[in-house]
Amino acid sequence: MRQALRVLIAGGGTGGHVIPALAIARELRDAHEAEVRFVGTARGLETRLVPEAGFPLELIRVGQLKNVSLATRVRTVADLPLGVARCLELARSFKPDVVVGVGGYASGPAMMAAVLLRVPTLAFEPNAVPGLANRLVGRRVSAAAVNFEETRRYFRGARVTGIPVRQEFFEIAPMPDAKEDRISFVGSVAQDGPASARRLLVFGGSQGARVFNSVMPKIAKRLLEYVPGLRILHQTGKGQAESTGEAYGASGADPSRWEVAAYLDDMPRRFADADLILCRSGASTVAELAAAGRPAVLVPFPGAADDHQMKNAEAFARVGAAELRVQEADDLMGAFLLSDLSGLLLDAGRLAEMGRRVRGLAHPDAVTEIGHMVAELAGC
């Protein structure tokens, strides 16, 4: 009898790496009956999300190379052979048919080990310009799944599949046009209609965004006054919920109409509830907006490698699927966001139109296609 397909998924760090990796893992398990294991590092989000999703996780030690001191970089490079050696050990005992590298810390050493052992490899790259781990192994991999046509040139055997996102995002109902009726105007002043309700979701990617945490509490009171019935749910990132909550509390904004949380586990439900989303433009974030058909104001993280968040946001803004707001100093940012958010929240027709347009950018087959690529590499 043929043995089950065995796949080692390597990488992690931020949600942007871990969350699509989990979507790939579920597809391989459910549609290909694969046995899937993960390799990550102790400081990544994988340590919580992978075991919660029911997959085994092996940890290896890999240092950081970006935004760290020279001494740390030297140590990281010196430790690299140890990381590769540990991955060689793991691969020899698990005997994967394919190693999938999703980018992030553990991805580089695991993919190098797979290349050395001549195990087929698939690289997954969600951003227009690959991160370091994928750039290092790009020409040596067997195949790659990318999100942008222009990214294909960094890899061997690359196909544009899009980014796998959790299936629940595709199941979200379209934005109802009917909400248009819920807010009426007397002169230019919005009046609270009988069923008036608007929900704004603010989230800064898997780590939160400092700019939202500092600016939103400053404008919340006025925003809640301008938009009747509005409720705000604000994800702050780890360690930021308390201080951000205190800032909202001190702002005088009605405490029954805002809520803060460090991290939201049930994002598909939060997207479904939202009429508008204020967020960064990380790769998975924008893929989820498209899958869910939800309008957004995108504020690209200015420090993202090769300014790739700006490219993601521009692609959405160009076709009227989202608004792009470049990050400014806090005061200016507050004024811009107050105007962007209230303008959109009071214009249900525009929100519905953006919701329709953004859905046109979704890749509903991404995860199925990546699953097939892995199976093909394994010769199944």
Q: Which residues bind ligand UD1 (CB under 6 A)?
A: 14-17, 19, 126-127, 203, 205-206, 235, 263-264, 267, 282-285, 288, 301, 304, 308-309
Residue 54: CB minimum distance to ligand UD1, A = 17
Element (H, E) at 279: strand 276-279
| Minimum distance of ligand UD1 from residue 226's CB (angstroms) | 26
Yes or no: say if 26 and 54 are a contact pair by the CB < 8 Å rule: no
Quick check: 109 and 18 in contact, CB under 8 A?
A: no
Beta carbon nearer to ligand UD1, 23 or 373: 23
Structure token digits, residue 181: 């009726």
Task: Return the bridge partners of 292, or none.
Answer: none
- The reply, when asked if residue 16 is annotated as ligand binding, is yes
Structural tokens at position 56: 């085994």
14 has binding-site annotation: yes
Nearer to ligand UD1, 202 or 345 (CB): 202
CA 290 to each of CA 128, 180, 315, 320, 332: distance values in angstroms, whole numbers, following the listed order: 17, 22, 12, 12, 29
Least separation in angstroms between CB 283 and ligand UD1: 4
Of 147 and 251, which CB lies nearer to ligand UD1 in the complex structure? 147
Taking each helix axis from N to C end, the angle separating 348-359 and 283-292, rounded to the nearest 10 degrees, works out to 110
Q: State yes or no: 309 annotated in a binding site.
A: yes
The response to whether 127 counts as a known ligand-binding position is yes
Residue 213 beta carbon to ligand UD1: minimum distance, rounded to whole angstroms: 13
Angle CA(256)–CA(260)–CA(266) in degrees, nearest 5?
A: 110
Residue carrying structure tokens 């949600």: 15
Minimum separation from the CB atom of position 130 to ligand UD1 (A): 10
**18/338 with CB nearer ligand UD1:** 18
349 within 8 A of 180, measured Cβ to Cβ: yes
**Binding-site residues, please?**
14-16, 127, 166, 206, 309
**Binding-site residues for UDP-N-acetyl-alpha-D-glucosamine, please?**
14-16, 127, 166, 206, 309
